[in-house]
Amino acid sequence: MIRSCHRLPVRFGLKMIAVVLVGLISLPVGGQETESNPTADGPGQTLELFGLDESTLRQFTDNSPLITDEYEPIYRLLYLFPRFERVDLHRWSTPLGDGVELVNDPAALRGEIFSLQGWVEDIQTVELPPESVRRFNYDRFYLLRVKSSSEGGRSVIVCSREIPAAWKRPEAAGRSFAASCLGMFVKVGTVPSDVGDPAPEELVFVTDHIAWHPFSVDEELGVNAGKALLGQFGMDVSLFAHLEQGKPIGHADRDCFYQLLWVMGRLDPAAIRTIAHQNFQIAEWLKQPQKQGGKFFRLKGLARRALKIRVEGTDIQEKYGLDHYYEVDMFLPLSRTLRLVDPRDQVAREYQTYPVTLCVRELPDGMPEGSSIRQEISVDACFMKLWSYRSQFMTGDDTPEDMVRRQVSPLFVARTVTQVEPAQEKIVWPETALVIGFFFSLGVIGISAWYYARTDRAFVDWRRRRRSQLPDEIKDFE
């Protein structure tokens, strides 16, 4: 059971977005497309496309507590909910607000999608009966009591197919969690109260995912300073737990990537600088990447490639205002040689610099672009995951197809980079040689002038003596 231990700060409500879950189509650095489901103009038509008619929604009884007899339609909705396209859910959704319109006319709005946010104060696990497990292919869902952050702080029940993994830990007991979701409204329930007191309304929603927005460090639950900062500005930090480490960018990574790229554009660079780690170990990124997720690092190295990547998905463009980003290959200098061995054939590779990938929203003015550049850069970037890609350095020209090797590199996300002018090493000896040469030249000139002056004086004296020996007049030869 999770009891409330914090109040939602006003600044959190201002910074948090109502919806942070969205279907993503374009992928960074080579992703995959997934088969799309049929779409319609609203959630009701989509449910019909999946064989769920209005009779399912009519099984809910308003102005009464949620009872086990109403779990059957919840099983069915939770089974179908993941098939909704996220872009459709976002387009259909409206902010919950104070929920008065739902209380006044629940039948008219039943089945509609709302965006809600607040504090999760209690979590209960509901196990499905064996026959329902076989039918729907999942074994449980979660009942979450949420205190809405909207005006009035209305009580809400969210039936979710999944919750963040950290919330299931024993250390999570007794805590409350800042969260948001896109939920389908199903009924107006009532909160159990003392006899004689009027039962306050409790809105009931169904969803397949709860986004987690922590705003303070919690080491026990894996919330570092970076995740806390990201959570304050709308990032669903639970997405870090779903990343596939050491693999190419895939479907499971898409939500995290685009949300992180979007949030980086909202963060204050000064706030990032206060938590960015300046000392880091490559080995930590390679051996324990899951523990590095969300951490910020200050990196400085040589950019060798900077390419503009177009975002083709219109949903990303509409939701986040992103139609492109830049992928930068950067090489970090190492204090000592790093030797990595391929476990398949024990072939070793040695690194004096190590490659990392940066995905940034923008490049600074004057930053060179292309597949072959040389530009010193620095950046405060967030570690996302360890990913892999085919590398000529790792593979070699004569490597058999079944032994293709992939470069494993850290993937970072940032808003932009800073160009660094190459350090001008102060070379002392040319300046010294110039000074010595100058004074040497002066010495040579002085000696030469003295020598020639002395020589000229001797010549003049000789001419004078010679002239004194000549006759006063020269007679004509006879």
**What pLDDT is stored for residue 405 in this prediction?**
67
* 215 shares its domain with 352: no
Query: Within this chain, do residues 124 and 219 fall inside the same structural domain, yes or no?
Result: yes
- Sorted by sequence, the CB contacts under 8 Å of residue 109 that are 6+ apart come out as 101, 102, 185
Residues 291, 335 within the same domain: yes
Domain-ending residue, one of 404, 419, 434: 419
User: Residues 6 or more apart from 303 whose CB is under 8 A from it?
Assistant: 328, 329, 330, 373, 374, 375, 376, 377, 417
Asked, for residue 427, whether it belongs to a domain, the answer is no
Within a domain: 364 = yes
Closest by CA position to 85, among listed 319, 420, 343? 319
pLDDT above 90 coverage of the chain, percent: 50
Domain count, the chain: 2
For residue 137, tell me if it sits in a domain.
yes
Alpha helices in 296-364 (DSSP H): 314-320
**Same-domain check for residues 301 and 345:** yes
Question: Is residue 5 assigned to a domain?
Answer: no
Per the structure, the complete domain to which residue 20 belongs is given by 10-242
76 or 198, higher pLDDT: 76
Last-in-domain residue among 401, 419, 437: 419
Q: Which helix (H) or strand (E) holds 184?
A: strand 177-190
228 and 302 co-located in one domain: no
Is 207 in contact with 80 (CB distance < 8 Å)?
no
- Could you tell me if 154 and 20 lie in one domain? yes
Label residue 141 by pLDDT band (50, 70, 90).
very high
- Looking at the structure, tell me whether residues 205 and 316 fall in a common domain: no
325 in a structural domain: yes
Q: Which of 19, 178, 150, 16 is nearest to 88 (CA)?
A: 19
Of 53-67, 161-175, 308-322, 361-375, least confident by mean pLDDT is 308-322
Instruction: Give 223-272 pLDDT, tens digit per residue.
Output: 999 999 999 999 999 999 999 888 888 888 888 999 999 999 999 999 99
Residues in the chain: 478
Are residues 181 and 319 located together in one domain of the fold? Answer: no
234: left (phi over 0), alpha (psi -120 to 50) or beta: left
Q: At 403, which amino acid appears?
A: M
Same-domain check for residues 339 and 378: yes
On whether both 213 and 73 belong to a single domain, the answer is: yes
Q: Are residues 69 and 212 in the same domain?
A: yes
What mean pLDDT is predicted for residues 131-156? Answer: 90
Rounded Cα distance between 35 and 332, Å, is 39
Task: Taking residues 361-366, report their average pLDDT.
Answer: 94
One domain, residues 95 and 203 = yes
Interatomic CA distance for residues 341 and 331, integer angstroms: 20
pLDDT range class, residue 196, cuts 50, 70, 90: low
* Residue 221 near residue 240 (C-beta atoms within 8 A): no
